[in-house]
Structure 1
Amino acid sequence: MVERGALPINIKNFKSTKKIALATIGLITIAGLAVYYIGDLKKQRFLYSSDSDYKIVSGEVSFRETFHSVKGLAENADIIAEAEVISQKNNSNYERLDVYTVSELRLTKVYKGDVEIDDTVSVLETGGEFDEREVAKYFSGKSRKSGSESRNDDLGVIMQGIAGSIPMKQGNTYFVFLTEDDDDIYNIVGSVQGKIKINSENTLVSQVSPETIDQHGDLYFLPENYSGQNISELRNDVEQLIATSPN
């Protein structure tokens, strides 16, 4: 025992406390390295494909509702399925400068919903192929009436999307969470959140760039968490959620 003023300090206890502190620092360091390592693994396995031959022009919108987990998507979906896009149609409005795409999906695996394999559903998404030259023609007609002309040398086809997400592409297969709208049309749950591409090797692929995911925070948790993984990971998670759902 050593006395320093009126406060006694036990050397043995001091050494034990020091060991505990060093052990705690060690655990914190290991935990920090583990988080860094897991984050680095996610970046390494992340797969991204824009799936567009055209320049992508992305608009920003205020979403009516967004979700922060697969559970949220599953609870709000009328249909959860894997599906192939067998046909689609772009619907452009050159006066309003907007476009939406309606895709016909053939269901290849069903997890939830009053549908069966090989059924087809129509899904509407904001965005799609948009020909700027047609816009120029539309407005040049009005310009000629007013006596002015406009140049359109640099115009061409672009791909419009919202918040960095473009519509599904014909020929691709997707894991989708769908909600029914009017007239037997379905929407993606969370507008852009409830879909992710499945490639020919049964690996999930993001159609949203890593930069866009970083920019929009938790909006794209599905590609952030599952891109680069085998489809079995998402299948297992969804099947467990369905099995434990009260509905």
Structure 2
Amino acid sequence: MFTIQIDDSQRASIERLCSSVAKAAKTAVAERGIFNFALSGGNTANDIFEVLCASDIAWEKTRFFWVDERCVFPDDEASNYGQAKKNFFSKINAKDSNIFRLRGEECPVLECERYSRLVELLVKERSSGTPSFDCIILGIGADAHTASIFPHSMNILDDRRLYCANTDPSKRLWRMTMTGRTILAAKKILVGVYGKQKERALKSSVEGIAKRGRSSPAEYIISRARDIEIYTDINIL
């Protein structure tokens, strides 16, 4: 199921996105007593964290994972975990024992293997044999990348691993990312896309739904997800 919600402002859009997170959390906690939630970093993350902090969500019953991470130390300003620790975890009643970070300071190949085993162990729900997160948050870049899957690494979309190492094409920085398999197994995928510079990427990705296109990572994910909601302030209709 695909839906797109266009709002006049980024703030209003993020509030809708976070409302959907709250609904997913309520359902998961009611069914199993735990909410398996995967976060992303990026420019919009802090705005999302701000709204989530004020949301009525049972954070003490939430397990936090990551969609992707840069291969830097956790106190580096580029760390997705570090960003969440400073602007999110410090302001909610999350349990430290329920925060499972990707260790950016480790060998990315070995860390992806470790993290994949961890996800296999903790995320019990399955979709076609793949661990199924209750909710994941994604963004879309101006080049139509999503997670840390870039146009130069489309093969990761079909990779049978849960997580794998990849490089950022612009900075040549190693990253670790969910593969397409893991993303598509999620029960709910929420995508926040903001800023005029992303209009072309968003429009082409949405237009690719009917043909199940694969001209970009975002198009591939959007056209194949079982339940994906896009929230944006970009009027592409």
- State the TM-score bracket (shorter-chain normalisation): under 0.3
TM-score by length of 1: 0.22
Higher helix share: 2
Higher strand share: 1
